[in-house]
Structure 1
Amino acid sequence: MTAAPRFPSHCLRLLTLAAAMAWTTLALADDYAGVNALIRSGQAAAAIAKADEYLAAKPRDPQMRFLKGVAQSEAGRTADAIATFSALNADYPELPEPYNNLAVLHAGQAQFEKARAALEMAVRVNPRYAVAHENLGDVYARLAAVEYAKAQQLDAANTTVAPKLTLIRQLFERPRAQAAPPR
């Protein structure tokens, strides 16, 4: 497979607690809010530790496991986050959010086929999940770019490929003046 350019982090949307709070019950809100506050303040390691403490007593809690995966991702512990979201998908296949976040991590590693498969599961589980649909569109575009780049390598004389590849690359470029602030 042709080496694909690094997938810009601003392209796919990682679901964070703000969207996941729909899972919350009032009795547990403080535990989730505490971990979320640590994540938002850039204290991912502390968030992971607090999540682990909570999960020691309630190891199957899907929301805290989800938050732990978000914290792992924020801490740059991609392999751990992938493992966390994969385990959530296995234990709670009816939840689309872990599939979405798993896809974002795979796309960040240019593993677009894995990202596509995870996002297709997310939209199969919840056909009204707009974020997953948007992310799936982005992944399809990246897969198209990989194929156009292959076609260009195999047949440099083909003049129809270069404009298509340029258009797709422009989708993922963001002018410096419009760049989003880091998350």
Structure 2
Amino acid sequence: MRRSLFVLLSALFVAVGTATSLPVSAASDMENLARTLHDSQFSEHVERLLKSNNAAQALELADIGIARNARNVQLRFMRTVALDALGRREEAATGLNALIREYPEIPDPYNNLAVIEAGFGNLEHAAELLRKALAINPEFALAQKNLGDVYLALAIENYERSAAVLTRNAELQSRLKTLKRITKEGV
């Protein structure tokens, strides 16, 4: 009798323990979507998610796609865009640097890394990266625009430093004021 009571209590404990344990996690929406996609379809879906401001889902789907095909450069690039959109700029910069090392002939990673570097205050490095992007593709309009923005920020930085010393230089003060107004207005 003692043995069967022990077996019964053990069985009851196992049954109760199983009933109260955490359920196996269900697949996420992105995992379910990934099951339906061919490797060649990941990029278009990630891009769609990025355009609709769903960076977290875009990152998740990009990670799944990269796990299936680590050589997908476009997907790796879009992953850095998602990271940046999520405010994870250091991770995005690391990914962009890896892409630049592996594929130095692609201008887009230079451009995106330059934007991140400019945000960190590294304007000279940002300008260097943009010049590299433009050396690869001189018609890269976004890199041209970004280089103009960096040069404008560098000009403001230099004018501010000199304005602190040349306090009576009306022309300098006027230029600085104009540049600051332009950057605020987005002209």
User: Shorter-normalised TM-score: what interval?
Assistant: 0.7 to 0.9
Matched, 1:44 2:55: yes
Could you list the runs of 4 or more consecutive aligned residues of structure 1 that deviate by over 6 angstroms after TM superposition? none
**What is the TM-score of this pair, normalised by structure 2?**
0.74
2:123 match: 112
- For the residues of structure 1 that align with 2:123 and 2:153, how far apart are their CA atoms? 7
- For the residues of structure 1 that align with 2:115 and 2:76, how far apart are their CA atoms? 17
- Measured against aligned partners, the alpha-carbon deviations of 1:41-84 in whole angstroms (never above 9, x if no partner) come to 22212211111111113223210111001111111111111111
Classify the secondary structure of the residue corresponding to 2:138: coil
2:24 match: none
1:156 match: 167
Count matched residues: 150
Matched, 1:91 2:102: yes
| Cα 1:29–1:56 shift into 2, 3 Å | closer
- For the residues of structure 1 that align with 2:172 and 2:71, how far apart are their CA atoms? 49
Identity of aligned residues (%): 35
Map 1:34-73 onto structure 2 (within 5 A): 34-73=45-84
Map 1:1-183 onto structure 2 (within 5 A): 29-174=40-185
Q: Which protein has the bigger helix share?
A: 2
- For the residues of structure 2 that align with 1:105 and 1:48, how far apart are their CA atoms? 18
- Measured against aligned partners, the alpha-carbon deviations of 1:159-179 in whole angstroms (never above 9, x if no partner) come to 22111111211221128xx9x
- For the residues of structure 2 that align with 1:88 and 1:168, how far apart are their CA atoms? 35
Q: CA deviation at 1:28?
A: 5.3
- For the residues of structure 2 that align with 1:87 and 1:94, how far apart are their CA atoms? 13
Classify the secondary structure of the residue corresponding to 2:104: coil
- For the residues of structure 2 that align with 1:128 and 1:38, how far apart are their CA atoms? 27
Relative contact order, CA 8 A, sep 6+: which one is greater?
1
Query: Counterpart of 1:48 in structure 2: which amino acid?
Result: L
Query: Counterpart of 1:129 in structure 2: which amino acid?
Result: F
Q: CA deviation at 1:121?
A: 0.6
Q: Where does structure 1 lack aligned partners over 5 or more consecutive residues? A: 1-26, 179-183
CA contact (8 A) 2:39 2:68 kept: no
CA root-mean-square deviation: 1.8
Classify the secondary structure of the residue corresponding to 2:53: coil
Bigger Rg, which one: 2
**What is the TM-score of this pair, normalised by structure 1?**
0.76
